Chain A
Amino acid sequence: MSRYIATRAIRGATALVYEAEQLLNKALKELGPDTPVQFTNTAYYLPVILGLTGIEVAKLGDMPKVLERAKALLHPIPKDQVWLPYLGETLDSGIATLFAAELIEGIRFAYGEQPEKITWGGKIAKGGSFTSPEFEGEGGNGGTLNGPIDDIQLRAWGIQLVDGRMPGFAAIVGCAKSNEVAVEIVRQLQQRNILVFLSGNVNGRSIIHQLMEEGVELGYDTYTVPFGTDTLSAIYALGFATRSALTFGGMKGGMARDILLYNKYRVFAFVLALGEVDDLKYAAAAGAINYGFPVIADTVIPQILPTGITSYEHVISMPFDEIPGENDLERAKRLVQRCIEVRGVKIKVTEVPIPVPYGSAFEGERVRREDMRIEFGGKKTRCFEYLRMANFDEVEDGKVTVVGPGIETVPEGGAMDMGIVVEVAGRKMQEDFEPVLERQIHYFINGASGIQHIGQRDIAWIRISKAAAEKGFNLEHFGKILVARFHADFGAIVDKIQVTIYTDPKKIEEWLAKAREAYNYRNQRLADMTDESVEEFYSCTLCQSFAPNHVCVVSPERLGLCGAYNWLDCKASYQINPTGPNQPILKGKCLDPVKGYFDKVNEFVQSASHGSVQEVSMYSIMENPMTACGCFEAIMMVIPEANGFMVVSREDPSMTPAGMTFSTLAGVAGGGLQTPGVMGVGKYFLVSRKFIAADGGLKRIVWMSSLLKETMAEELKAAAAREGDPDLLDKIADERVATTVDELLPYLEEKGHPALTMPPLF
Chain B
Amino acid sequence: MTEFKTIDPAAVEMLKIAAEENISTAFSRAEEVKPCPIGETGACCKICFMGPCRLVGKTTRGVCGADVHTVAARNFARMVAGGASAHSDHGRDLAMTLLHVAKGEGQGYRIRDVAKLHAVARYMGIPTDGRTKEEIALDVATEALANFGRQTGQVTYVTRATKKRQEIWKKLGIVPRGVDREVVETLHRTHEGVDLDPENILRHALRTSLADGWGGSMLATDIGDILFGTPAPISTEINLGVLKEDQVNIIVHGHEPTLSEMIVAAAQDPELIAYAKSKGAKGINLAGICCTGNEILMRHGISPAGNFLHQELAIITGAVEAMIVDVQCIMQALASLAENYHTKLITTSPKAKIPGATHIEFDESRALDSAKEIVRTAIDNYPNRGKTRIPPIKNRLVAGFSHEYLNYMQGGIYRGSFRPLNDAIVQGRIRGAAGVVGCNNARVPQDEGIYNLVKEFVANDVLVVVTGCAATGSAKYGLLSPEIWAATGKGLREVCEAVGVPPVLHLGSCVDNSRILTVLTQMATEGGLGEDIDDLPAVGICPEYMCEKAIAIGTYFVASGAYVLFGVHSPVSASDVVTRLMTEGWESQVGGKLEFEPDWRKILEKSLAHIDKKREKLGLVPWDPNRFGKSGDAVMMEYLKTVAASK
Chain B interface helix/strand/loop/mixed: helix
How far, in Å, is A399 (CB) from chain B's closest CB? 48
Instruction: Give the residue of A89, A305, A314, A317 whose beta carbon is less than 8 angstroms from that of B412.
Output: A89
Q: Would you call A3 and B498 a contact (CB within 8 A)?
A: no
Per the 8 Å Cβ criterion, residues 405-439 of B in contact with A are: 408-417, 419-424, 427, 429
Taking the complex as formed, is A87 at the interface, i.e. its CB lies under 8 A from any CB of chain B? yes
Instruction: Tell which of B279-287, B513-521, B630-638 binds the partner.
Output: B630-638
CB–CB B412/A91 < 8 A: yes
Cβ contacts under 8 Å, B71 to chain A: none
Does A306 make an interface contact (CB < 8 A)?
Answer: yes
- When distances are taken between beta carbons in the complex, the residues of chain B under 8 Å from A202 are none
Q: How far is the CA of A303 from the CA of B635 in the complex (A)?
A: 9
Residue A290 at the chain B interface, CB threshold 8 Å: yes
* Other-chain contact of A308, B396, B408, B421, B501 (Cβ < 8 Å): B421
Query: 1/0 per position for A285-313, CB-CB distance to B under 8 A?
Result: 00000100000000011111111110000
- Kindly state whether residue B288 has any CB partner on chain A within 8 Å: no
> What residues of chain A lie closer than 8 Å to B635, measured between beta carbons?
300, 302-303, 317
- Of A6, A82, A88, A95, the residue contacting B410 (CB under 8 A) is A88
**Assembled-state Cα–Cα distance A241/B495 (Å):** 28
- Shortest CB–CB separation between residue B24 and chain A, in angstroms? 37
Across the interface, which residues of A come within 8 angstroms of B419, CB to CB?
A: 308-309
A4 within 8 A of B: yes
Q: Distance in Å from the Cβ of A578 to the closest Cβ of chain B?
A: 29
A91, closest chain B residue (CB):
B412
- Give the distance to chain B from A397, nearest Cβ to Cβ, in Å: 43
Identify B498's interface contact among A81, A82, A314, CB under 8 A.
Answer: A314
Docked-complex contact A302 and B414, CB < 8 angstroms: no
Residue from A83, A260, A317 in contact with B415 in the complex, judged by beta carbons closer than 8 Å: A260
CB-CB under 8 A for A4 and B413, given A85-B500, A305-B630, A307-B427 = no
Residues B415 and A82 in contact, CB atoms below 8 Å apart: no
A302 touching B633 by the CB < 8 A rule? yes
Q: Which of B507-532 contact A (CB under 8 A)?
A: none
Q: Are A84 and B414 in contact (CB under 8 A)?
A: no
Collect the chain A residues with CB atoms within 8 Å of residue B633's CB. 2-4, 302
**Assembled-state Cα–Cα distance A87/B495 (Å):** 10
Given the known inter-chain contacts A85-B501, A307-B423, please indicate yes or no for A302 contacting B636, CB distance below 8 A: yes
- B385-401 with Cβ < 8 A to chain A: 396-398
In angstroms, how far is the closest chain A Cβ from the Cβ of B388?
Answer: 27
CB of B639 closer than 8 Å to a CB of A = yes
**Which residues, 77 to 114 on A, are CB-close (under 8 Å) to B?**
78-79, 81-92, 94-95
Q: Nearest B residue to A319 by beta-carbon distance?
A: B639
In the assembled complex, the CB of B302 is this many whole angstroms from the nearest CB of chain A, namely: 16
B410→A87 contact, CB < 8 A:
yes
Q: A257 at interface (Cβ–Cβ under 8 A)?
A: yes
Residues of A within 8 A of B427 (CB): 306-307
> Is B487 in contact with chain A by the CB < 8 A criterion?
no
Contact yes or no, A3 B412, CB < 8 A: no
Q: Chain A residues with Cβ under 8 A from B498's Cβ?
A: 1-2, 87, 304, 306, 314
Contact present for A306 and B631 (CB under 8 Å): yes
Residues of chain A contacted by B495 (CB below 8 angstroms): 306
For A86, list chain B residues within 8 Å (CB): 499-500
Which A residues, 1 to 60, have Cβ-Cβ distances below 8 Å to chain B?
A: 1-4, 6, 52
Is residue B4 contacting chain A, with contact meaning CB distance below 8 A? no
Chain B CB within 8 A of A756 CB = no
With a cutoff of 8 Å between Cβ atoms, the chain A residues found around residue B416 in the complex are 88
From residue A278, how far is it (CB to closest CB) to chain B in Å?
Answer: 14
Chain B residues within an 8 Å CB radius of A84: 233-235, 398, 500
Q: Does B535 contact A (CB under 8 A)?
A: no
Of residues 312 through 335 on chain A, the ones whose CB sits less than 8 Å from some CB of chain B are 314, 317
With A300-B639, A306-B423, A308-B420 as known contacts, state yes or no: A87 contacts B483, CB within 8 Å.
no
B482 interface contact, C-beta 8 A: yes
A309-B420 CB under 8 A given contacts A52-B414, A256-B414: yes
Tell yes or no: A73 within 8 A of B by CB. yes
The residues in B between 57 and 94 inclusive whose CB is less than 8 angstroms from any CB of A are: none
Which residue in chain B gives the minimum CB-CB distance to A308? B420
Contact string, A443-461, partner B, CB cutoff 8 A, digits 1/0?
A: 0000000000000000000
Checking A52, A79, A81, A91 against B411 with a beta-carbon cut-off of 8 angstroms, the contacting residue is A91
Give the tally of cross-chain contacts (CB within 8 A).
132
B413–A92 touching, CB < 8 Å: yes
Kindly list chain A residues whose C-beta atoms are within 8 Å of the C-beta of B628.
305
| Beta-carbon contact of B398 and A82 below 8 Å | yes
Question: Does B497 sit within 8 A of A, measured CB to CB?
Answer: yes
A88, B632: Cβ atoms closer than 8 Å:
no
B residues less than 8 Å from A78 (CB atoms):
500
* Contact (Cβ within 8 A) B413 A88: yes
User: Who on chain B is nearest to A291 by CB?
Assistant: B415
State whether the Cβ of B481 lies closer than 8 Å to any Cβ in chain A.
yes
Q: Is the CB of A87 within 8 A of B235?
A: no
CA A436 to CA B422, docked complex, whole Å? 46
Q: Could you tell me the distance in whole angstroms from the C-beta of A402 to the nearest C-beta in chain B?
A: 53
What chain A residues lie within 8 Å of B411 (beta carbons)?
87-88, 91, 290, 308-309
CB–CB A302/B631 < 8 A: yes
| Residues of B close to A314: CB separation below 8 A | 498
Known: A82-B398, A82-B481, A303-B631. A290 touches B420 (CB 8 A): no
How far apart sit A317 and B397, CA to CA, in the bound complex (Å)?
32
Q: How far is the CB of B497 from chain A (nearest CB, A)?
A: 6
Assess whether B632 is in contact with A82, with CB atoms less than 8 Å apart: no
Interchain CA distance A301-B498 in the complex, whole Å: 14
Q: In the docked arrangement, what's the CA distance between A303 and B628, Å?
A: 12
CB A77 to nearest CB in B, in angstroms, measures 12
Bitwise interface map of A from 216 to 247 toward B, beta carbon under 8 Å scored 1, else 0: 00000000000000000000000000000000
User: With A304-B498, A308-B410 known to touch, is A91 a contact of B415 (CB < 8 Å)?
Assistant: yes
Whole-angstrom CA separation of A261 from B482 in the bound complex:
30
How long is the Cα–Cα vector from A701 to B410 in the complex, in angstroms?
A: 53
Give the nearest-CB partner of B419 in chain A.
Answer: A308
User: When each residue 521-540 of chain A gets 1 if its CB lies under 8 Å from chain B and 0 otherwise, what string results?
Assistant: 00000000000000000000
Measured CA separation A309–B409 after assembly (Å): 11
In the complex formed, the residue of A with least CB distance to B413 is A92
Q: Which residues of A contact B417 (CB under 8 A)?
A: 308
Contact across chains for A303 and B630 when beta carbons are under 8 A apart: yes
List of A residues within 8 angstroms of B235 by Cβ: 79, 82-84
Taking the complex as formed, is B295 at the interface, i.e. its CB lies under 8 A from any CB of chain A? no
Q: Considering the chains assembled together, what is the distance between the CA atoms of A73 and B235 in angstroms?
A: 21
List, in ascending order, chain B residues with CB within 8 A of A309's CB: 410-411, 415, 419-420
Query: Residue of B at shortest CB range from A52?
Result: B414
The smallest beta-carbon distance between B550 and chain A, in angstroms, is: 29
Q: Are B483 and A88 in contact (CB under 8 A)?
A: no
Can you name 4 extra interface pairs (CB under 8 A) apart from A85-B233, A92-B412? A52-B414, A85-B500, A86-B500, A87-B412
Q: 22 A-B contacts, Cβ less than 8 Å apart?
A: A1-B499, A2-B636, A3-B497, A73-B413, A82-B397, A82-B398, A84-B233, A85-B409, A86-B499, A86-B500, A87-B410, A88-B411, A91-B414, A256-B414, A261-B415, A303-B630, A303-B631, A303-B635, A306-B420, A307-B423, A309-B411, A317-B635
In order of increasing CB-CB distance, the 6 nearest A-B pairs are A308-B420, A91-B412, A86-B500, A85-B500, A88-B412, A305-B631
